[in-house]
Structure 1
């Protein structure tokens, strides 16, 4: 079965990533903040990995741009897990 190519409107519904590439002098910290907003805004049924690949394909022609680095990092680092656990779960093992 052929895989459907993700539409940019599904990969970036609010245009946050597109706009980040238009901001002159944007920093990596600002890109990370925008990336977090983007991650919270995509639909639940959207595969974030596939969306990041589509965004890099569309906007990542400028490899030195900090958002390209943030998106690439998002593809290479595992999501979630390994973080601090609060409350009882953080105090009790197993």
Structure 2
């Protein structure tokens, strides 16, 4: 299946057509989708557009939940290890 600039392989759209898809499968699809994005394209700017495109899907669909999780920023690392981290 061919997609567009936001979903080049049509992976996200196809996930909504798979009956009984699981959260784990959606996460795998999401990772595959993110790896296929062009380097200059930031997934954080594309995800809201995908959510809007698939707004007709149920809120509890695993891919909707996965896309929302993809919007969350990764937490900043806490204390660094090693000697510098142990010294006050």
Q: Normalised by the size of structure 1, how large is the TM-score? A: 0.72
CA RMSD of aligned residues (A): 2.3
Runs of 4+ in 1 over 2 A off after TM superposition: 79-82, 90-94
Instruction: Give aligned pairs, total.
Output: 81
Could you tell me which residue of structure 2 aligns to residue 46 of structure 1?
Answer: 41
Task: Give the alignment of 1:42-81 within 5 angstroms.
Answer: 42-62=37-57, 63-75=59-71, 77-79=72-74
Instruction: Considering Cα pairs closer than 8 Å and 6+ residues apart, tell me whether 1 or 2 has the greater RCO.
Output: 1
Q: 1:10·1:46 contact (CA, 8 Å) conserved in 2?
A: no
Q: Normalised by the size of structure 2, how large is the TM-score? A: 0.77
Task: Give the number of the structure whose alpha-carbon radius of gyration is greater.
Answer: 2
Name stretches of at least 5 consecutive residues in structure 2 with no aligned partner: none
